Amino acid sequence: MVEAPFLVSAPGKTIIFGEHAAVYGKPAIAAALSLRSYLLVSAHSPAKAGQISLEFPDIKLQYSWDIASLPWDHAPSKATTPDSLCPPSELHEPLVEALETPLANIYSSFQRVAAHTFLYLYCSILSPSQTGVTFSIRSALPIGSGLGSSASVSVCLATALLLLAGDISQPVHTAEVDHGKTLDLVEAWSFLGERCMHGNPSGIDNAVSAHGGAILFQRMGKGVPNRQESMTSFPPLKLLLTDSKQPRRTAVLVGNVGTLLHSFPKIAEPIMDSIEELTNEAFELFQKPVEKCDAQWAGKLREMIRINHGLLVALGVSHPKLELIRAICDENEVGETKLTGAGGGGCAITLVNEGITEDKIEILRKQLEEHGFELFETSLGGKGVGCLFPSQATASRWEDWEERVFSLHHLLALETRDHIEETIGVGAAKGWDFW
């Protein structure tokens, strides 16, 4: 069991191969991004010891609840042995229904879903005797752009609550400690958080966010466990990610692909089969040792990205803005570009050619911004969930580093994603540790 303050961080994800085909039981490959969400758990004053608070300024959510007033009688019984801490894969409906009362005064659907996820996990993992704390979330991820921001938040919440409950411990890097069990537990609880947000998620987003790296994921039939294979040798890859700022509805896009398959099965089904073959070949490519991931290896990967985008275009899930992003990237000869996720808007990813300079990327950035797009420089295959405690942190470039990093006031005042990363980011604040 740990005490506040402490920070938790988890990455977003991007699907590299297999989107849309995964809906029909075919494999998909997803990788963690270096863009992350951050959660600060800070202690309340004695006067507020009986309250919990949730601060999520990126979606303008700020709310508090009396701990005693939460529907504890409807929460699932807490497992008492380490072997049974893992939750069921289905939501506990009595708790879902009972949470309508503490959520009654939150009218925004976006804010309500976030608060519901938080309260469901809080009541399921902790107990009424928990001392009040504030949970403050900041994200360096674009929210609602298909980059797994909700899963990243769910992983942060699940990890923080499990630490507070004493169900998991801080990372200890010895041969006797199996961090895989910790990450599996975080993954299982965060999947329930994803269920609160999305109803029937695939599980790929929170799996990548918890474990990091990259995974091949495939939903199997009823009664058959999903296929999930980690790619431990996945090399760090420099990636450009462009947000089209075009909203889209995943359910509509998935439905349109279903209609296409029904109307033109002899045409659309071979496209799905080709995406599957492409994903399997990419998986084999990623199994090579890192030292063999040379220029030829990277060139083949870029070619596969180009082909995958063309197949998705044929399924009708691109968008004029995504095609414009791809055209601008092609004109600047920075690499190969494809849509990621559901398409119809959202983001595009570009696997960068070798030798591309920062000057050339800045030229590209300006051209994209002229069209209202936003460019992020990121990398694939980074660390999964991690934590930072004051006892582990070392002095940064600020004299008041501890106040800045673990201060609720400073966290809420950070204005941009760059400010978040520069102040509390995994690459900025020293002492972050990972399971």
Residue carrying structure tokens 């497992």: 79
**SS3 (DSSP) at 61:** strand
Active-site residues: which are they?
205
Q: Which of 2, 1, 5 is nearest to 402 (CA)?
A: 5
Tokens of 303: 């070619």
CA–chain centroid gap for 67, Å, is 28
The 8 Å CB, 24+ separation contacts for 77-82 are 78/124, 78/125, 78/127
Helical spans, DSSP H, in 212-341? 250-263, 265-286, 295-314, 320-331
Buried-exposed string 172-204: b where 16+ CB fall within 10 A, e elsewhere: eeeeeeebeebbebbbbbbbbbbbbbbeebbbb
Q: Are 349 and 316 in contact (CB under 8 A)?
A: no
- Is 149 exposed, middle or buried (CB count within 10 Å of its CB: 0-12, 13-18, 19+)? buried
d(CA 427, CA 38): 13
Distance of CA 246 to the CA centre of its chain: 20
Distance CA 206, CA 155 (A): 7
CA distance 199 to 108: 18
Structure tokens at 316: 């009708």
> CA–CA distance from 79 to each of 84, 85, 127, 308 (Å)?
6, 5, 12, 45
Cα separation values, 434 from 149, 183, 228, 285, 386, Å: 19, 10, 21, 27, 4
User: What is the per-residue DSSP string for 80-144?
Assistant: -SGGG-SPPSS--HHHHHHTTTTTTT---HHHHHHHHHHHHHHHHHS-TTPPPEEEEEEESSPTT
